[in-house]
Amino acid sequence: MKPHARTEKQAVDAADLHHEAGAPAAARSLPYETIALVLQGGGALGAYQAGVFEGLHEAGIPLDWIAGISIGALNTALIAGNAPEHRVERLREFWETICQPAFFPTIPAAFEFALFNSIDQIRTFFTASQAASAMMQGQQGFFVPRFPPPLPGVSDHPEKISWYDTSALRTTLLKLCDFDRINSGETRVSVGAVNVGTGNFVYFDNSRIRLAPEHFMASGALPPAFPPVEIDGEYYWDGGVVSNTPLMEVLRAHPRRDTLAFQVDLWSARGPLPRTMADVAERTKDVQYSSRTRFVTDTLQREQRYRNVLRHVLEQVPEAQRKNDPWCVEAEAMSSGKKYNIQHLIYQQKAYEHHYKDYQFGLSTMRDHWSAGLDDIRKTLAVKDGLALPVNDAGFVTHDIHRRR
């Protein structure tokens, strides 16, 4: 058995140890074989996910599997690539680094925070200027403008066909992540990307291959801003080009296990009707990058119902036939009665944010996103029986604190 796969007994034993050690109540007696953290893509909004993880860490909730796409993949590397006691610190170091301009220094911190905490109109102007700065000079330890830029109609090497150079990101990942730890199997890691040549979506998974910085960079290589990343002779783009949530990968794993998944989304499917062209640009991103999450959960709920129906039908078949008939044996495996609890945390857009929110890398905004994630996970964990095994017939529940109001 791989180190990240827990049996039911191991899950209960771990919960007992947490209880005996005086861990927070949220971490006690979690009756799951797999506890997963699922991280969507969304650029600068990804600091929200770091805040969510800090809340899980302070609650003492162990993670067996972390799956991410794009910025979610980078957060995955930082979490899985560090010892538990250093994970929040490394996440903070990463975000404090990449939220600094690549070349020209930012304004003094005290002045920035004063501007950011003023009225929304000033805050909007200030954050717009930081987004413009990201486009013009890039972000420290992440990306810089390519010079000279690619010219229309001029062929070049695939890794040079982009507006920005992400070489600095590899150095940052090597500095902040221990890839031997990532590949140790202590925590299962999956990051999604799309093969540029075939259009096929793939998951790079440490249970199947050895992961390197390139696998995480490939998951975040959003064209045409960032170049494709070469891995074993193939080129890959950001997984969000095809699907921006890895939830399906986690919940369709075999063998099936009772699973608690914290799905952390950076784009909200719900939003106001656009009134300006800028609103249209923003709303398009929200729908494009968020809509598959609801589709995935709806699909998985239907599949779970089909498994339950199949299991009830099998119960009408004599036991001897169920054990000897190959079709019944296969149906028995398909009708596994495992249960799934999805804790859905969705970033709620602020009044000062607009269509550039995914590349607005200011320090103040980053800390605001981080605080929002920490606040949301604390509220989520405070819901009575929210982390309990589903007791409904479907064996599948989703919780979202923003939809309980």
* Residues taking part in catalysis: 70, 238
Nearest by Cα to 132 from 391, 402, 359, 306: 359
Rounded Cα–Cα distance for residues 306 and 377 (Å): 32
CA distances from 394 to 251, 303, 309, 324, 341 (A): 14, 10, 10, 28, 11
Q: In the chain, helix, strand, coil percent, each to 5?
A: 50, 15, 40
Q: What SS3 string covers 358-386?
A: HHCCCHHHHHHHHHHHHHHHHHHHHCCCC
Cis peptide before 224 (omega within 30 of 0): yes
Q: What SS3 string covers 283-348?
A: HHHHHHHHHHHHHHHHHHHHHHHHHHHHHHHHCCCCHHHHHHCHHHHHHHHHCCCCCEEEEEEECC
Contact between 37 and 264 (Cβ < 8 Å) = yes
Contact between 400 and 84 (Cβ < 8 Å) = no
Please give the full DSSP string across 169-188, using - where no structure is assigned: HHHHHHHH--HHHHTTTSSE
What amino acid is encoded at 318 in this protein? Answer: P
